[in-house]
Amino acid sequence: MSPNELLAIGMIAAFFVLLIIGIPVGLALAFSAFFFGYIGFGPMLFNLLPSRIYGVVTNYTLMAIPLFVFMGVMLEKSRLAEELIDVVGHLFGNISGGMGVAIIFVGVLLGAATGIVGATIVTLGLLTLPTLLRRGYPKTIATGMICASGTLGQIIPPSLVLILLADILQESVGTMFAAAMVPGLTLAAVYMIAILAYAWWKPGSMPPIPVDERRALSRGALLRKVVLVVGPPVGLVVAVLGSIIGGIAAPTEAASMGAVGALLFVALSGRLTLGMLYQVARSTLLISAMVFFILICAQVFGLAFRGLGGEHLVGRMFDMVPGGVTGALLFLMLLIFILGFFLEWIEITYIALPLFLPFFMQAGVDPVWLGILICLNLQTSFLTPPFGWSLFFLKGVAPAGVSTMDIYKGAIPFIGLQFLALALVFLMPGLATWLPTAIGW
């Protein structure tokens, strides 16, 4: 092993040490990369850094990120989730486990409309968790359903994860969106089937909504609510995704259309105020700035790692894994899962993946299929204790009788269901590649 490769290993170790002692991830990336890169090559290693940073901030595809964030935050501030859970809850409320199915269904809709995990979980936790517990749902199952539902926004387009993966894999955003549709809906279906199976296996554990409560809303009134509440956001999402996947508009153009559509939707609902617009703009700025700051710092880390010969080190590491390319893929999935215990998805996406992807590209692995496998795996980082953000979000709004351990236990079965969906896509690549191929991407 060469001295520079030892420096590359030291740089990775230093990055994790800085994270452990509380240094923000962007600064930890930059500090460790500058220090070890300078030791290995001096200042000449970073001559390409200005052009790489310029490439990030002027990337036309990445310009869609703040626009999609604005669209999501605007719809989240419109109290869309409250109305959706009321309507969808009545639609599924006459069957055992129906409220659980409704929560997953709302997670799909909110994932497509907003993609904001924290907002979805907090809203569902406040609106549904006390009701679920009052009706006899087990604490673990109720909390697990809510946490899992909130993470669906990471695989259901338009997802920021998919946009960043498209940039890393050098694939079009439309291709990644199309590839994620079937796996995302498959994961939601796996959740729903598991909930209904548990309700059948444990009669009375997930009772339907009481008849008197269901009859309070007539069929005609329910149908009108479905059209007025579910129709507009679904129509907006279909228009945005359809224009991207169909090749009618570029992702940035479609995202701007979605941002304007969300603004009009909230204005027509009578909830748009200057104060709300300020809050949405501020949240959009903070989220977008965080994403781009990490992207810029990741350029420093990637440049130093490659300059120190890290790619050859990774190649030799995968060569030692038994099972050829399949074994290397399984090892990558395991590594991403383990990293998810400690890091957020954006850190794994822009730090770990660029280090490993060249090996798989050289091995001829379909990048679209690989990207969807990675995206499904990244979802587990929101549910894995002790640092799963979904668990933290729900604990912050859970009633006093719900402990942290209840939430941890509730998440574990849904992590297993995520692995089931991941295994289905791994064994049947067509789930990810069929739709992009069918529409000619």
Q: What is the mean pLDDT of each run of 10 residues along the chain (441 residues)?
A: 79 83 82 86 77 80 82 77 73 78 85 72 80 83 89 84 85 89 93 90 78 66 75 81 79 85 84 87 86 82 78 71 83 84 74 79 88 89 76 80 86 92 93 85 62
Q: What is the pLDDT of residue 419?
A: 92
**Domain-embedded: residue 231:** yes
Q: What is the pLDDT of residue 182?
A: 92
Q: What is the pLDDT of residue 311?
A: 67
**Domain-embedded: residue 9:** no
Query: What single-letter amino acid sits at 233?
Result: P
**Domain-embedded: residue 36:** no
Q: What is the pTM of this model?
A: 0.83
**Domain-embedded: residue 5:** no
Distance CA 145, CA 362 (A): 40
Q: What is the pLDDT of residue 418?
A: 93
Q: What is the DSSP letter of 210?
A: P
**Domain-embedded: residue 158:** yes
Residues whose CB falls within 8 Å of the CB of residue 400, separated by 6 or more in sequence, listed in order: none
Check if the beta carbon of residue 141 is closer than 8 Å to that of residue 410.
yes
**Domain-embedded: residue 301:** yes
Pair of tokens at residue 186? 């498959």
Q: Is the dihedral of CA 27, 71, 63, 336 positive or negative?
A: positive
Q: Which bin fits 24, alpha (ψ -120 to 50), beta or left (φ > 0)?
A: beta
Q: Quote the number of domains for the chain.
A: 1
Q: What is the pLDDT of residue 73?
A: 82
**Domain-embedded: residue 86:** yes
Distance CA 303, CA 33 (A): 8
Q: What is the pLDDT of residue 71?
A: 83
CA 298 to each of CA 1, 176, 240, 353, 363: distance values in angstroms, whole numbers, following the listed order: 25, 22, 29, 11, 25
The 10s digit of each residue's pLDDT in 301-344 is 878 877 777 767 766 777 777 878 888 888 888 888 887 776 77
- Report CA 244 to chain centroid distance, whole Å: 19
Check if the beta carbon of residue 348 is closer than 8 Å to that of residue 381.
yes
Q: What is the pLDDT of residue 386?
A: 66
What is the helix (H) or strand (E) element at residue 261, kind and residue range? helix 251-268
Other Cβ atoms less than 10 A from the Cβ of 20: the count is 10
**Domain-embedded: residue 19:** no
SS3 category, 176: helix
Segments forming the whole domain that contains residue 370: 48-438
Distance CA 188, CA 56 (A): 33
